[in-house]
Structure 1
Amino acid sequence: MTNPPPVLPSPPTTPGEAPTTDALTTSGTLAPRVSRRVAVAAGIGHFLEWFDFAVYGFLAATIGQLFFPSGNATTSLLASLAVFGVAFLFRPLGGLLIGAFGDRAGRRAALSFAIVVMGICTIGIGVLPTYATIGVAAPALLVLLRCAQGFSAGGEYAGAAAFLVEYAPARRRGLWSSVVSAGAGIGVMAGGAVTLLLTALLSDDQMTSWGWRVPFLVAGPLAVLGLYVRLRLEDTPVFQELQRAHEVEHAPLRNAGKHSRSGILLVFVCTAVTGLGFYYLATFVVTFLSVEVHMAKTSALELAVLGLLIYSLMCPVAGMIGDRIGRRRTMLLGAVGIALTAVPCFALLSTGTWYLALIGLAILAAFEALANVMLGVLMVELFPARLRVTGSSIGFNVAQALIGGPGPFIATAIAAAAALIVAPAFYLVAVAALSFLILLRYLPETRGVSLFSDEAPSVRD
């Protein structure tokens, strides 16, 4: 027989208080001077991940010409996009290994490692010689760097969510979680803005010669800043208590599979709807508006940026709603809202009328924010302290690799095959509706659970 998992001793404080560290006041609240550092430390890695995501997507055609010259622009573009997609295959591996590292060595150590790898790879792409200079080594190195980026991104989200929420005041975990969710939207907007600005200021020859490198090199100082901020902070009060109690998990991969299966499956389901919804907002909307609706590319990009802006502004609101009415009801509201409004929203987009399309995007963005912010909190509250980063990383990254990442490709294929212009929304509706039904049956309410506990909340009977 195996021994039952050890139970952590109660934190050495009065009820409702967190253990006092240098970062906390004696009442257990986060010291004001530290709160901004915690927010930056948790959000900047996710910002960089999505900044790079947007930059590579915008520059895919140029990168294809420079690294996969074929004499055919379409072939080169497809090769470039294939490299873009291969990063998703390495996200689950990164989630497994970096997540386990976060449970063994600490949240801060895992986040610091992830941002170092991400920064080095992003700068590496910016200085990488092209095919014309070093031949086939150029695309080979590009593939290697993109795989390493996917690996680091796989460990970033769960680690950032744990770091942020474990520091957050108990009644403000939803609001604090919104930092990570909003960081993704702001990262895509920033990546698109920088790329579009360079495109407007530089000639085609300048962009091909050196301009395409600038956005990748811009990310370098941001990675250094993120590492500096992360290293200046202590690890979270929860992990420090694990260390004091000598209950740090030394086999998180094995034990997460034994003791956190329900949490992993629930995070998978939550991520399925939130990940797919965000990829629709961040990438597919531009394709849909420009290809299917025949809207001018600049207008399509403007609408996509505004949709992401609305999403980012809604994230703190969604966090406060989750803190007020609970995680379960907020997540269910987001999922059912996406399921019910996706088709009407795409109908508004398909009109080609600018303000109607913006209304459609705003509705979709609002429900996406509700679900996405709650995902960040649930990734922390559904797991025992000693297995938190590993378990949430597994569920999150497997869902992103299987459902979220391929979403735009599947939506594009549906659009090409179906005569009905709103048909791409059907995939989003199906995933959101199925996720809603599963979560309605099994998702527990986790608001108010102790993050120091070694017992995960039970699923609903």
Structure 2
Amino acid sequence: MSKTELDGHSAGKALPAFGSRAILGATVGNMLEFYDFITYSFFAVQIGHTFFPSHSEYASLMLSLATFGAGFVTRPIGGIVIGSYSDRVGRRPAMILSFVIMGFAIITLAVTPSYETIGIAAPIIVIVARMVQGFSLGGEVGPTTAYLMEAAEPGRRGLAVSWQPASQQIAATAGAFVGVVLSESMDSAALDAYGWRIAFLLGAVCLPFGLWMRSGLPETVHGAETDAAGIQAARKPIGVIRANARIIILALLILASGTINTYVTQYMTTYAENTLHIAADLAFATTVVGNGLGIAAALYGGWLSDRFGRWPVMVWPQLAALLLTYPVFLWIVDSRSAMALLGGFGLLSLVGSIPYSAFYVALTENLPKRIRGSAFATIYAVAIASFGGTAQLIVTWLIHATGNALAPAWYMLFAAAVGLGAMVMMPETAPVKTVQQEPSRSC
């Protein structure tokens, strides 16, 4: 029997009690956490005006984006602390812990007075709240992804785990949709003054529902399964890392690529407003359409990976995304039309979201169960902290320094090429493929 089967469920012993409610509970909590975290980027301009006033619009935006990036600094710490907690104590308590921490942080952000009201204390509070958000989200992804994989039948792991990236896209779509509604119903002064706070408070209102959903989830980690292995891993941490070094390095490269793609895409609202000088409602609508297509693509990618394997679903769509990026950006910048913005960014989101569902489940299946939560969370958080927190700053700087509106495409092309190279080297883990090589696998 393979390591994957030992660490997951065997084909004959999938847990029958784990059904749609378990997937929904994990996904809803994940979606709400990402909504709270991502929504900041949609209102970076307004938040900059509130907490970082400056005579220079560029300086105000850069300070706001730097604060957005501060949320990534603490994500590796959260990944290690809460991820390890999920391996030792269980996935459910870890997911509840991260959810509660996020709740406190989002409420703090929503009610902090402006710089004009309390002075320098305002940006300090906002930066601390963003760092707490980062800690929470860093500890959210690993346990949730591990839970989705462990709660699913082997033949449906890809679809189950695809709810992780899909829930992120749902969160981003919800945030952008709220932005469309607020920008349509308010003038710019009202949006600056209090409109962006409404978006955050909407996320806070939903927190009790997510907590209720998670509190009733069945557990997938049990002491008898992991105690001895956990003690051995604790005594020889270097050995565990060395044994999984190849997967860890490939995962870091792929997640770096995906992170840059994701956060540059999420930056498109600000990019459309500031660089292309598009109306705010169309800028938000672009993000809504792109993320909406990304949801369908993420779930479709997971479904495809269960039927055709993880490797082809990672590699071929990633290659297509690499080839499409520059022509699409060229079309958008040249025409600056609604069709180009909605169709172009929608196409990139559609194609670019498919590979990562297959990757998420491939990485989860490759990691031993005793370190799955902490390892996934730490790998993810390190990649996100290194490249997600800086992506929007780098793109803004590139546009400012070069004066070229195509600068985001250059950065995305480089990231896509690196990700494609790492995906090519990822091993196949899908049961539909590996069962043909190991016909006697059973527990």
TM bracket, shorter-chain basis: 0.7 to 0.9
Which sections of structure 1, spanning at least 5 residues, go unmatched?
Answer: 1-6, 19-27, 451-461
C-alpha contact 1:161 1:379 (8 A) present in aligned 2: no
Please name the residue that 1:103 is paired with.
87
CA contact (8 A) 1:174 1:319 kept: yes
Number of the residue aligned with 1:454: none
Corresponding position of 2:438: none
Contact 1:161–1:380 (CA<8 Å) still a contact in 2? yes
**Match of 1:324?**
307
**C-alpha distance in structure 2 between counterparts of 1:306 and 1:235, whole Å:** 36
Deviation track 1:132-181 (CA, whole Å, cap 9, x = no partner) reads 44443332222211100011111211221111111111111111122111
Question: How far apart are residue 353 of structure 1 and its match?
Answer: 3.3
Quote the Cα distance in structure 2 between the aligned partners of 1:411 and 1:114. Answer: 30
Which stretch shifts more, 35-44 or 143-152? Answer: 35-44
SS at match of 1:262: helix
Change (3 A) 1:362 1:154: same
1:191 paired to 2:186 = no
Other-structure match for 1:286:
269
Task: Work out which structure has the larger RCO, using CA pairs closer than 8 Å and 6 or more positions apart in sequence.
Answer: 2
Matched with 2:224 is 243
Amino acid at match of 2:12: E
The equivalent of 2:284 in structure 1 is 301
Tell me if structure 1 keeps the 8 A contact 2:290–2:346.
yes
CA distance in 2, matches of 1:400, 1:244: 31
Q: Which deviations, in whole Å up to 9, do the C-alpha atoms of 1:329-384 show, x marking residues without a partner?
A: 11112322222211122123223233244332233122212122123212311101
Deviation at 1:228, TM superposition (A): 1.7
Instruction: Please state if 1:38 is matched with 2:33.
Output: no
The answer to whether the 8 A contact 1:119-1:224 is kept is no
CA RMSD of aligned residues (A): 3.0
- Which has the higher mean CA deviation after the structures are superposed, 361-370 or 150-159? 361-370
Please name the residue that 2:321 is paired with. Answer: 338
Q: Deviations over 1:194-214 (max 9, x none)?
A: 233234334556555544432
CA contact (8 A) 2:162 2:301 kept: yes
Q: 2-side partners of 1:87 and 1:226: how far apart?
A: 22
What per-residue deviation string (whole Å, max 9, x for no partner) do you get for residues 92-131 of structure 1? 1111221111111111121111111111110122223444
1:240-266 deviation digits (Å, cap 9, x = unpaired): 2x5346335255593543432222212
C-alpha contact 1:346 1:422 (8 A) present in aligned 2: yes
SS of the residue 2:228 aligns to: coil
Q: 1:150 aligns with which of 134, 144, 147?
A: 134
CA distance in 2, matches of 1:416, 1:67: 22
Q: Could you tell me which of 148, 160, 169 is aligned with 2:153?
A: 169
Scaled by the length of structure 2, what TM-score is found?
Answer: 0.86
Gap change, CA 1:366 and 1:60, over 3 Å in 2? closer
SS at match of 1:405: helix
User: 1:310 and 1:141, CA in 2 relative to 1: closer, same or farther beyond 3 A?
Assistant: same
* Shift of residue 86, structure 1, vs aligned partner: 0.8
Q: Quick one: structure 1 residues 345 and 447, their matched pair in 2 at CA, closer, same or farther if it must change by over 3 Å?
A: same
Match of 1:219 in 2: 203
TM-score, normalisation: structure 1: 0.83
Distance (whole Å) between structure 2 residues aligned to residue 420 and residue 206 of structure 1: 31
| Alpha-carbon contact 1:43-1:180 (below 8 Å) kept | yes
The aligned residue for residue 276 of structure 1 is 260
Alpha-carbon shift at residue 38 of structure 1 (Å): 1.7
Give CA deviations for 1:262-316 in whole Å, capped at 9, x if unaligned: 2221211221222222222222x33444444443333232222111111112222
Q: 2:77 aligns with which of 68, 71, 93?
A: 93
Counterpart code for 2:120: V
Cα distance, 1:322 vs structure 2: 0.9
- Conserved in 2, the CA contact under 8 Å of 1:103 and 1:248? no
| Structure 2 residue matching 1:339: 3-state secondary structure | helix
For 2:367 and 2:5, how far apart are their aligned partners in 1? 17
Alignment pair present for 1:267 and 2:251: yes
CA contact 2:11–2:153 (8 Å) conserved in 1: no
Residue by residue over 1:381-436, the C-alpha shift from the partner in whole angstroms, topping out at 9 and shown as x without a partner, is 11011011121222212211222332233233333444765443222222222232
Q: In the alignment, is residue 313 of structure 1 matched against residue 296 of structure 2?
A: yes
Q: Helix, strand or coil: the match of 2:218?
A: coil
Residues 420 and 378 (structure 1 numbering): CA distance in 2 closer, same or farther, change over 3 Å? same
Specify whether residues 423 and 168 from structure 1 end up closer, same or farther in structure 2 by C-alpha distance, changes over 3 A only: same
Quick check: 2:183–2:191 contact (8 Å CA) kept in 1?
yes
Aligned to 1:22: none
Unpaired segments of 5 or more residues in structure 2? Answer: 434-443
Which residue matches 2:349? 365
What is the number of equivalent residue pairs in this alignment? 428
Which stretch of structure 1 is more off in the superposition, 200-209 or 379-388? 200-209
Does structure 2 conserve the Cα–Cα contact (< 8 Å) formed by 1:50 and 1:188?
Answer: yes
